[in-house]
Amino acid sequence: MHLGRTTLSQFLIQQLKGSDQQAALADLLVDIAAAVKAISSMTAKGALAGVLGSLESQNVQGETQKKLDLLSDKAFINTFHLGGLVAGMASEENEHPIVFDDLEAPGAFLAVFDPLDGSSNIDVNVSVGSIFSILKAPEGRLPGLADFLRPGKEQIAAGYAVYGPSTMLVLTVGQGTHGFTLDREMGNFILTHPNIQIPAQTSEFAINTSNERFWELPVLRYIEECKAGKTGPRGRDFNMRWIASMVADVHRILMRGGVFMYPRDTKDPSKPGRLRLMYEANPMSLVVEQAGGKASTGHGRILEVQPDQIHQRVPVILGSSEEVDRIAGYHEAG
């Protein structure tokens, strides 16, 4: 029995003992932690390091890229390339997947990630994060686009880093969701939140209400009932929070419960939601489910959605299981 503090590496050696592939996955997650440390140090320096502000460029989704979006993307790409454990990767900031075809042998994994989530919060010193999803790579050959387009239930690991007052890494390898806090003096992530459990009930919701006029009826009904509080059908008061960094909003829900929604709306009929399936919704859904919560599109489990594009969007309703069930029920009722 290990007494004292458990580092991320010690924890992963314990959770991933067995096959060579599992040991390699532990190595990959330690590599990801190294990229997270580099990004944490950049975000912490902020204006002092000249990393704030926007670039001239736009990503494939037409969003103006921030300096930190691209610096974080580079930190992950370099880490994955040098580590040699990843055969290919896809990210929010790159239109097409990047395949590492110069390795001695292709790596065993594929990485899909949002290098910097919550970009609108960078310049105002509000929490941002990184989100990652790990899939199995095909054996004995380089990956193609189809190898990335796997439903979220096939993820073998997923997690996020939140760069807040402290930097935390929260991850799952399919055996619960666990949180680690960066000890900056030691340079190590320490297990501080083992086996996170999201309470099944909550009185807190997170949604961007400026989109209310575009919402569908089930979402309108749910939020109206929450806002009616004690005087409405729910018979109790609700509270609302919206940080506008999915990572920070989901982290709060993992810590104390709540429901987070970026539902389908009619704002832009060509987009079935705001958030991206492969590098926002899927990894967060696995983390949430492994913590006893639920994640739904309103019409089914997010992790069952078959992707057909790297950057496709999806409606997201996740968090405390009883509230997610209730909202899905309102969708079923029409």
> Where does this chain bind ligand AHG (CB under 6 A)?
63, 92, 114, 117-120, 208, 244-246, 274
Q: Which does 58 bind (CB under 5 to 8 A by kind): Mn ion, ligand AHG, none?
A: none
CA 294 to chain centre: 14
Which of 114/323 has CB closer to Mn ion? 114
* Shortest reach from residue 33's CB to ligand AHG, in Å: 20
Residues 117-136 that bind Mn ion (CB under 5 A): 117
Residue type, 39: I
How far apart are the C-alpha atoms of 61 and 138, rounded to whole Å?
A: 28
Q: Residue 86: which of 37, 129, 143, 19 has the closest Cα?
A: 143
Q: Which residues contact 213 (CB under 8 A, 6 or more apart)?
A: none
Residues 23-42 that bind Mn ion (CB under 5 A): none
Q: Which stretch binds Mn ion (CB under 5 A): 91-99, 157-165, 220-228, 301-309?
A: 91-99
Backbone torsions φ then ψ of 61, nearest 5 degrees: -95, 10
* Shortest reach from residue 118's CB to ligand AHG, in Å: 5
* Shortest reach from residue 175's CB to ligand AHG, in Å: 27
The strand pair at 109-117 and 86-91 is best described as parallel
* Shortest reach from residue 66's CB to ligand AHG, in Å: 8
Which of 8/131 has CB closer to Mn ion? 131
73 binds Mn ion (CB under 5 A): no
Which of 8/162 has CB closer to ligand AHG? 162
Which of 163/238 has CB closer to Mn ion? 163
In the block, residue with structure tokens 């944490």: 40
Q: Residue 163: which of 239, 268, 298, 51 has the closest Cα?
A: 51
Which of 252/274 has CB closer to ligand AHG? 274
Burial zone of 113 (CB within 10 Å; 0-12 exposed, 13-18 middle, 19+ buried): buried
Q: Residue 188: which of 70, 40, 89 has the closest Cα?
A: 40
249 binds Mn ion (CB under 5 A): no
114 binds Mn ion (CB under 5 A): yes
* Shortest reach from residue 163's CB to Mn ion, in Å: 13
* Furthest C-alpha separation in the chain: 66
Q: Which residues contact 323 (CB under 8 A, 6 or more apart)?
A: 201, 202, 205, 259
Which of 35/116 has CB closer to Mn ion? 116
How far apart are the C-alpha atoms of 78 and 34, rounded to whole Å?
A: 11
Which of 93/147 has CB closer to ligand AHG? 93
* Shortest reach from residue 122's CB to Mn ion, in Å: 10
Could you list the residues that contact Mn ion (CB under 5 A)?
Answer: 92, 114, 116-117
